[in-house]
Chain A
Amino acid sequence: QVQLQESGPGLVKPSGTLSLTCAVSGGSISSNNWWSWVRQSPGKGLEWIGEIYHSGTTNYNPPLKSRVTILVDKSKNQFSLTLSSVTAADTAVYYCARVCESYCRGAFDFWGQGTLVTVSS
């Protein structure tokens, strides 16, 4: 059973940079899957941020593209999210998720438990 675990600071100052890591266990990040970040805030619901393949190929949500970087670290079996120039609007629970590449191709079949990031001074 694949498990994902987000980690990172729970508080980020305005104009600062949000950095999170998603550790993957029970499976390889080099498998034939894409890996995604999704966030959830009261004001905007669930919002897809972007995704990465183990080759390093990425796909970002256009409104966030200029501020987002997603990287993969195959040696640590994890991937990361960096969001720059944050504002209060970036306060949310951030989830990492696996994109299914088997029977449920494209849907998000495994999720981390989520981590709350608050942007405040």
Chain B
Amino acid sequence: EIVLTQSPGTLSLSPGERATLSCRASQSISRSNYLAWYQQKPGQAPRLLIYGASGRATGIPDRFSGSGSGTDFTLTISRLEPADSAVYYCQQYGISPYTFGQGTKLEI
């Protein structure tokens, strides 16, 4: 299976700053960059932010952007707001079994 490693484990930033979250895959996610990012707040289900490595899901503000290909992917959140505090997960859905990273906790 493809192992996804996220870094850093925790990121502490201030409002207005930019966050850069990394997700590295153990092998290439070559199938149309089937890499997604999710946001999860305490007591809630994950929410889809980014699909296909760089596409924004419906209703997601353009402060959230994704990039990358192959094995290295990045989620960038600009102009941080307190409401962005959450755990962020990457997921590959190109090769079964679909797998998730261990998450990055973002503290604002």
Contact = CB atoms under 8 A, between A and B. Distances in A.
Given A104-B51, A106-B34, A111 B45 contact: yes
Interface string B91-108: 101101111111100000
A88 interface: no
A59 interface: yes
A62 B97 contact: yes
A46 B48 contact: no
Given A62-B1, A106-B36, 11 more contacts: A45-B89, A45-B100, A104-B55, A104-B57, A106-B51, A106-B93, A107-B34, A107-B52, A109-B51, A111-B45, A112-B45
Contact of B44 (A45, A100, A109, A113): A113
Interface in B34-74: 34, 36, 38, 44-48, 51-52, 55, 57-58
A104 B50 CA distance: 9
Interface residues of B, number: 26
B51 A100 contact: yes
**Interface residue SS majority, chain B:** loop
Contact of B46 (A46, A61, A103, A104): A46
What are the nearest 10 A-B pairs in CB distance?
Answer: A111-B45, A104-B51, A46-B100, A107-B51, A107-B36, A61-B97, A106-B93, A48-B98, A45-B102, A109-B48
Interface of B: 1, 34, 36, 38, 44-48, 51-52, 55, 57-58, 89, 91, 93-94, 96-103
